[in-house]
Structure 1
């Protein structure tokens, strides 16, 4: 073989390799590329060690509803028993570091929790959300023009009607679930998780006024619920929690954030739909419809976060009846995470994206948007999170389509390179 022929063959092979390499997704070629360039994570945050079963991230989780899946979770009176030592250690470390304010527990003597003398619920050091005091970083408002769908208290027997409706409308929502309800109504949980692929968030284990609870009781209410969600979603760690009755303060909020990495979500409009099934309801379907009309046809700044429940057939109906009005008035309807174009879990973008092992903290799986977009305002003095310009497609769908396109292009270009190499060899020989 002449040197010219050998050189031509080598050149053709190199061209083919270069073409193939150019069509390979760097995330596929190097799995760590995706993490190193697109993820910000806090390795020092203790939450990444708090919810591993068996001490590693590669465990096969028990099927939802099986005896092994339910084993070890407390009955309500036993909430404090057998609490993992890792949770307690993380709490005590946060207290020792001065990250948990020394605020006394409240008592219930009226419609709102009462603090001891000397503790003003509107003061910066207490800042009770029951008294409408907003802590910077908590989410109360949505971005302008955005309506965030979230539902409390599920899963419950009325929930499947809501889930079917959301799926029919191809709409995702955030479900703030009660831990003990997940345990009891696991079939409904499977529907919203496996079929609807909605976002799952924390609404405590027993639905108490959280400021009436000690530090350890707050820890148990949040921790057990997070553990069950983690075990039921392939290892996802929830990112959001909503305090029952909207009751939180700087102490409770700090435990949620510092120990468990949770962001507190409240609301800026309240339907009172939770009372529809009470013997003496505080509202009616007609009253809720009137409120919805006012909110949905009114100003779009700030965006709406409406308190709604999957608690009763009536509360579900109140939402479904307002749907056409939401759509016709041009609201961008999204889950809590989608309204800010951020991740729904601390270690995964959503229900269908991969789970990042031991990569917990402030995570951004997607690259930043190409152009500036409106911001998700927690409140007037809080930080801001980029808002999506519309309802984002599930990342796994885009990734799958892109991978398919790259594979087809790679195959075509590889054969083209071989053809060029063959012609070159024939000419030179």
Structure 2
């Protein structure tokens, strides 16, 4: 120590340092002292939220790191919650572009989801409901708004018997091929028809043909809060009107966590159900609604659908064929291909 620096001089220097610290003028190790003091004050408050990122990654005057943005985005609680929260994932899917789309789910037991599109059909859907009820099986019905408006009693029966109802658009267009305003109307009108019939808003959307683009999917997710549900097993029941063929294809492809695509508007698809259900039940399988299946998704083994044709073909179905769409008579949907993971 220099003999010329007196005790009073050191005290004055110490006071000057404290003044500089309180003004945030000093930066220690790249961390603004004002930020450090603010962080300590926040952590001392019992009402303060947890920090979104480690202060070791934030320099004074610097930008917030990407990890902080990710942490904030992933905490947004706008996603639909499954019916059985006790078995659901620890956190819901985030809102907006990060919302998840499912083609199947990773589960630790033999459980699958049966899903039926394009109904309800008063000539075939009641028979299917009878078959499901007799076996205590629950399914998910992705209904068209036109048919929901025409058959509200069938939707109420579905809900009363433990089934789930999802949105399949108003009248089955390829959503990427119409204007955004028209696509909005397709989804909004179908959801409104479902809610009028059942008192419940649908949580899930299955786009007709599986046709979708990343931009449109992000828009619909953010605007309507719907989670997209595709499929992992497609027996092509719309094309091959043969109950035995439909049944055998499903039995050959079904795995734990599968989401199986069918159409309750076809008599042959409904006719395939009794033996299919009995065979799978005998093999130890259990049937769940989409919400129930998602609730059993195992953390660390999440399978998030990557809709491959969203990137590769501008939302066009992978398999194309002429679609006859007369909703009061025949309706032959084109089976859209889904890129699985």
**TM-score interval for Structure 1 and Structure 2 normalised by the shorter chain:** 0.5 to 0.7
2:176 alignment counterpart: 211
Matched, 1:319 2:273: yes
Q: Is 2:247–2:272's contact at 8 Å kept on the other side of the alignment?
A: yes
1:105 alignment counterpart: none
Matched, 1:224 2:189: yes
Matched, 1:293 2:251: yes
- RMSD over aligned CA atoms reads 2.9
Report Cα offsets for 1:232-256 as digits up to 9, x if no partner. 222x221101011111121221122
Q: Is 2:148–2:197's contact at 8 Å kept on the other side of the alignment?
A: no
Q: Which residue among 209, 212, 215 is the counterpart of 1:248?
A: 212
Instruction: Give the Cα separation in 1 of the matches to 2:300 and 2:281.
Output: 21
Matched, 1:189 2:189: no
Q: Which runs of 5+ in 2 are unaligned?
A: 1-74, 81-95, 308-341
Higher RCO structure (Cα 8 Å, ≥6 apart):
1
What does 1:18-417 correspond to in 2, within 5 Å? Answer: 42=77, 137-144=100-107, 145-157=110-122, 158-194=124-160, 196-234=161-199, 236-275=200-239, 282=240, 284-296=242-254, 300=255, 303-341=257-295, 377-379=302-304
Aligned length: 215
Instruction: Give the Cα separation in 1 of the matches to 2:238 and 2:284.
Output: 27
Report deviation, 1:267.
Answer: 0.5
Report deviation, 1:381.
Answer: 7.8
Report deviation, 1:380.
Answer: 7.2
1:70 alignment counterpart: none
Instruction: Give the Cα separation in 2 of the matches to 1:254 and 1:328.
Output: 41
Q: Is 2:103–2:230's contact at 8 Å kept on the other side of the alignment?
A: yes
Q: Which runs of 5+ in 1 are unaligned?
A: 1-39, 48-98, 101-134, 276-281, 343-371, 383-429
TM-score, scaled to structure 2: 0.57
Q: Is 2:101–2:230's contact at 8 Å kept on the other side of the alignment?
A: yes
Instruction: Give the Cα separation in 2 of the matches to 1:381 and 1:241.
Output: 15
Instruction: Give the Cα separation in 2 of the matches to 1:376 and 1:172.
Output: 25
Instruction: Give the Cα separation in 2 of the matches to 1:313 and 1:162.
Output: 9
Instruction: Give the Cα separation in 2 of the matches to 1:167 and 1:152.
Output: 19
TM-score, scaled to structure 1: 0.46
Instruction: Give the Cα separation in 1 of the matches to 2:288 and 2:300.
Output: 14
SS of aligned partner of 1:340: helix
Instruction: Give the Cα separation in 1 of the matches to 2:132 and 2:193.
Output: 24
Instruction: Give the Cα separation in 1 of the matches to 2:305 and 2:232.
Output: 13
Q: Is 1:340–1:376's contact at 8 Å kept on the other side of the alignment?
A: no
SS of aligned partner of 2:273: helix
Q: Is 2:144–2:172's contact at 8 Å kept on the other side of the alignment?
A: yes
